[in-house]
Amino acid sequence: MQNQEEIKEVVKSKYAEIAVAKSGSCCCGGSKVVPYTMFQDDYSGKEGYVPEADLGLGCGVPTDLAEIKKGDVVVDLGSGAGNDVFVARAVAGDEGEVIGIDFTQEMIDKANKNLDKLKFGNIRFVLGEIENIPLEANTADVVISNCVLNLVPDKTKAFAEIYRILKPGGHFCVSDIVIVGEMSEALKKSAEMYAGCVSGGLSRDAYLGIIQNTGFISTEVKRTKVIELPDDLLKKYLSPDGVLEYKSKVSGICSITVVGYKR
């Protein structure tokens, strides 16, 4: 298996590729990754939607379930070109503030280009890693993230950082990929599938266990969407025996949207 720094470089390279292209194609986006949109949800009718910011990289719409209020400080982890940031800003209003964090400079540049056209003074995009968020403790009322934490090698550290930057009583709302069953090592070893957000996913129980162990309370899965990976996609990355092993051991891949509160 790759070490954590190697995984980060793979992910950064893939998402830089997406940022400089005209668009992605789901969280498995990029011309050399997976040309499927089975993960993506439609944002086009949302208030604050900016088409140029929507690279098709999500697996949910966390802003729908995040219960953002006017005046809230919202932090979006893995903000990409700003899709969820601009939608969250429409909810938080002029009184609020929305901060996008991304570790890919090309994404930060693309987001700022979109922001320059909108002239909002209460949005900023910051270069940084989710495992070491460059914000002070007790900054955010709400933390959101969309199909990103599954790509972070150290998810325990990621949720600890979310806990740290939330204000007491604040909460997160995250859409992410989880696995029901056992992911084969052959699939986990595929760098492109890792950047495609599948083999980076934990089991549902392990994912929720990390959240609970971090200290969050009132954790709840608000939405679950089962995702079917087509045979031609599996055959691209796995041998015939590997496809059979995958189908026998993995009973489901799901997008979940989960919330949790800081004490």
- d(CA 102, CA 21) in angstroms, rounded, equals 17
Pair 173, 144: CB distance under 8 Å:
yes
Please enumerate in sequence order all residues whose Cβ is within 8 A of that of 71, keeping only pairs 6 or more positions apart, or say none.
92, 93, 95, 96
pLDDT band at residue 99 under the 50/70/90 scheme = very high
Q: What is the pLDDT of residue 124?
A: 98
- d(CA 40, CA 228) in angstroms, rounded, equals 13
Pair 35, 25: CB distance under 8 Å:
yes
- DSSP per-residue string spanning 119-141: T-SSEEEEE-BTTB-SS-TT-EE
Written as six digits, the tokens of 179 are 């696995």
Q: What is the mean pLDDT of residues 144-159?
A: 93
Lowest mean pLDDT among 9-18, 56-65, 126-135: 9-18
Q: State the residue for tokens 């025996």.
A: 241
pLDDT at 138 over 50: yes
Please enumerate in sequence order all residues whose Cβ is within 8 A of that of 113, keeping only pairs 6 or more positions apart, or say none.
none
Q: State the residue for tokens 């940084």.
A: 128
pLDDT at 166 over 90: yes
Higher pLDDT, 39 or 38: 39
pLDDT at 235 over 60: yes
Q: What is the pLDDT of residue 186?
A: 62
- The full set of domains in the chain, from first to last, is 4-261 (3.40.50.150)
pLDDT at 177 over 80: yes
Q: What is the pLDDT of residue 33?
A: 42
pLDDT at 36 over 50: no
Q: What is the pLDDT of residue 252?
A: 77
pLDDT at 26 over 50: no
